[in-house]
Amino acid sequence: MNFLKKIGAVISAAVLALSLAACSGTESGSGNSGSGSGNGNFRTIDEIKSEGKITIGVFSDKMPFGYVDNNGEYQGYDVYFAKRIAQDLNTELELVPVEAASRVEFLQTGKVDIILANFTVTDERAKQVDFALPYMKVALGVVSPDSAVITSADELNGKTLIVVKGTTAETYFTENYPDVKLQKYDEYNEAYSALQDGRGDAFSTDNTEVLAWAMSNPGFTVGIESLGSIDAIAPAVTKGNTELLDWLNEEIKALGEEQFFHADYDATLASVYGDTVDKNNLVVEGGEM
């Protein structure tokens, strides 16, 4: 009996110790933690400035919006905007590569302060993150080999369409064209390689991107230049980070007064699109679609 009492005491002590540790311990995990925000998954403006660095998630393989060039440097329309955000906050900039399917998770876990990765605003995503005002507009496009150009979505029924996971293209075809076979990839480089290797009949993503890709890849044509609705591309922050959201909205309005996003287009996209794209059909100034 004394032995059993001793065992019981040891177990009780262990349980108590674990309980105390759970109450007093700090939250672990990668990414930022804002002690003043009351939410371990985002930082306030003051905390960002105090730490001297803003972390922004961008694509590393989606030319010409977010990509790494031959010198290992980030370039693109989103990157140009990210640099201006850091400049106006008077902080250093840390660019964090993200995949389409990881954008929400990177915000929710505090790995980044802002997502600027061609993030299309949807009702479903707005339940998970907070979107700022838009800075670009986009529809879907479909690129396919010259030998069998796809010119309408109906032509894809029974065929294999390449998409990237977590994109509006995946959602659109899942909901509207259930007879299209979707071949899904995590990264854009993988998707384009699959198209070039003939593992699918076509590839769908933002029309702005497939148009740019087809221009630099002979043998492929964007047979569908605009599909679905015209949607907004906007920065996103962690749900509830109202202070950073408000700052971004004011920043976008101020940048609109100087036509910043037209300058961004000229610096990063004009050489890619030439005369094939009207910049006013893509650029959004001051958050006004």
Write down the pLDDT at residue 29.
Answer: 33
Average pLDDT score over residue span 97-101:
96
Q: Are 107 and 129 in contact (CB under 8 A)?
A: yes
Within the chain, how many helices (H) and strands (E) appear?
Answer: 11, 13
Smallest CA-to-CA distance from 153 within 167, 136, 166, 139 is with 139
C-alpha 285/C-alpha 254 separation (Å) is: 9
Tokens found for residue 100? 């389409």
Going edge to edge, which strands form the sheet with 53-58? Answer: 92-97, 53-58, 114-115, 236-238, 129-131
Which pTM does this prediction carry? 0.83
Smallest CA-to-CA distance from 76 within 230, 192, 233, 223 is with 233
Q: Are 129 and 115 in contact (CB under 8 A)?
A: yes
Write down the pLDDT at residue 276.
Answer: 86
Residues 6+ apart with CB under 8 A from 68: 60, 61, 74, 75, 97
| Cis ω before 64 (30° cut-off from 0) | yes
For the stretch 120-136, pLDDT in tens is: 999 999 999 999 999 99
Using the predicted structure, report yes or no on whether residue 197 has a pLDDT greater than 60.
yes
- How wide is the angle at C-alpha 161 spanned by C-alphas 174 and 136, nearest 5°? 70
Write down the pLDDT at residue 40.
Answer: 60
C-alpha 219/C-alpha 99 separation (Å) is: 27
Using the predicted structure, report yes or no on whether residue 81 has a pLDDT greater than 60.
yes
Using the predicted structure, report yes or no on whether residue 280 has a pLDDT greater than 80.
yes
Where residue 39 falls among pLDDT bands split at 50, 70, 90?
Answer: low
The mean predicted confidence, pLDDT, of the chain is 89
Write down the pLDDT at residue 37.
Answer: 44
Smallest CA-to-CA distance from 136 within 248, 258, 265, 250 is with 265
For the stretch 175-188, pLDDT in tens is: 999 999 999 999 99
**12-21, 149-158, 197-206, 279-288: the lowest-pLDDT one:** 12-21
Average pLDDT score over residue span 25-36:
35
Q: Are 217 and 20 in contact (CB under 8 A)?
A: no
C-alpha 119/C-alpha 219 separation (Å) is: 29
Using the predicted structure, report yes or no on whether residue 16 has a pLDDT greater than 80.
no
150 secondary structure, DSSP code? -
Using the predicted structure, report yes or no on whether residue 22 has a pLDDT greater than 70.
no
Tokens found for residue 37? 């925000």
Using the predicted structure, report yes or no on whether residue 8 has a pLDDT greater than 80.
no
Q: Are 144 and 210 in contact (CB under 8 A)?
A: no
Share of the chain above pLDDT 90, in %: 85
Using the predicted structure, report yes or no on whether residue 157 has a pLDDT greater than 60.
yes
Average pLDDT score over residue span 217-245:
97
Q: Is the dihedral of CA 263, 268, 272, 277 positive or negative?
A: negative
